Every structure is written in structure tokens, then in C-alpha cells.
Homo-oligomer: A and B are copies of this chain.
Amino acid sequence: MRAVIPYKKAGAKSRLSPVLSLEEREEFVELMLNQVIDSLRNAEIEKIDVLSPSVYGLEDMTKARVLLDEDDLNEALNRYLAGSKEPVLIVMADLPLLSPAHIKGICSTEKDVCIVPGKGGGTNALFIKNPSRYRVKYYGSSFLTHCSIATDTGQDFEIYDSFLAGTDIDEPEDLVELLIHGNGSAKEYINRKFRLEVSRGRVGLVPL
């Protein structure tokens, strides 16, 4: 099997712009990418591809192969899947709470496809045993779409139910989850900039 991580550093994570500058967001996504790669390696996945529209931020990448495709995320991933002759794990680059144990759990599914839901209807990871028989459609309610695509192509699927793997970091409130549940360099980066503050039921961020 192989893993592929779609990645784009330039202008990344615009929804974090209320709390992080462009430069900070670009630093932060690089830390998250490296953590995801490390988790994959620690899960003993040897073939790891980073799929990006640009080499920006990947010039010194040695831990994974860099594949460039300027096309849209879905087009690029579907081209990747069509050319794959072994099972593929697609994993998003913004999952610093994803552990090697999660990855092993996802990839040990007995079904044809394993889908890891993210917040707000997204798909955080997708393990596909027969990639040439599957196509992806990210954006919007991709979780439901990915379930339907499996069913429509006669493949059964498992939903991998994890709070931690389900936490993709897109919005300021997601940084709270990273501070509470995370570890490693991405957490430390945010920890140097914010502290947690309790207000009305849930916990919020306060700049340091």
C-alpha cells in the first residue's frame, strides 16, 4: 500500500486568518504536514507521497516523495488513484491528532473502503483497497459523497469513528482541540502563541 497527502502551503488555511498571519499559517501547515508524515512512518507505511500543485515549501522534503500536479485537488487525486495498483490511503495534511495507532486501525479494515469523517461533513482520511475502482470528490459534504461513491461502485465501507482523527484543523476553535488533545511541534507552535480560556461552556483561545 501507499499513502498520499494532498498539500498546498501557499496561502494555506485562510479560515485561520482571524488568529494567524499568512506567514504563521504557512509555518503551521508545514509543521502539521511533517507530523502527519511522521505518524505514517511510525505506522510503518514506507511509500508516502505528498501531492501538491507547487513545490513551494517542499524543496527540502526528504521524508516523502513529492508529486506535483497543478490540477484541482479532485482531478489530481483521481489521476493518482487511476494509476495506483495497490491500496491507497489518502490522508489530509491538517490532522496533527492522527496517531500511528489510528492509521493502523484505518488500514486494517476488512471492508473495501474505510472513511474517516471530519467535522462539518468532511473526509479526513480515506483508505481504498482498489483505487482504480474508486474516485474521490472532496469539498462540501464529502463524507456522505464518499459513502455513496463506495456504495454506487459496489464496494462496502467502514466508518472509522475517532474524535482525534476526526479533528481537522481549519478554524480557530480547532486550535483549542490541538492544545487540549495534541502533542508535538504543531501543538507547541500554537501553545507559544495562545492560551486556553474558559468561557460559556466551551474553551476558547486567548493570544499570549
Residues of chain A touching chain B, judged by Cβ–Cβ distance below 8 Å, are 15, 117, 119-122, 139-141, 143-144, 161-166, 170, 173, 176-177, 180-181, 196, 198, 200-203
What are 12 inter-chain pairs, A to B, with CB distance below 8 A? A119-B177, A120-B173, A120-B176, A120-B177, A120-B201, A121-B176, A121-B196, A121-B198, A121-B203, A122-B202, A141-B196, A163-B165
* Contact among B119, B141, B198 for A141, CB-based, below 8 A: B198
Interface of A: prevailing SS? mixed
Shortest CB distance A182–B (Å):
12
Most chain B beta-carbon neighbours within 10 Å: one of A121, A140, A176: A121
CB pair B117 A202 closer than 8 Å: no
User: Which chain B residue has the least Cβ–Cβ distance from A117?
Assistant: B163
User: Which chain B residue has the least Cβ–Cβ distance from A124?
Assistant: B163
CB pair A170 B122 closer than 8 Å: no
Shortest CB distance A119–B (Å):
7
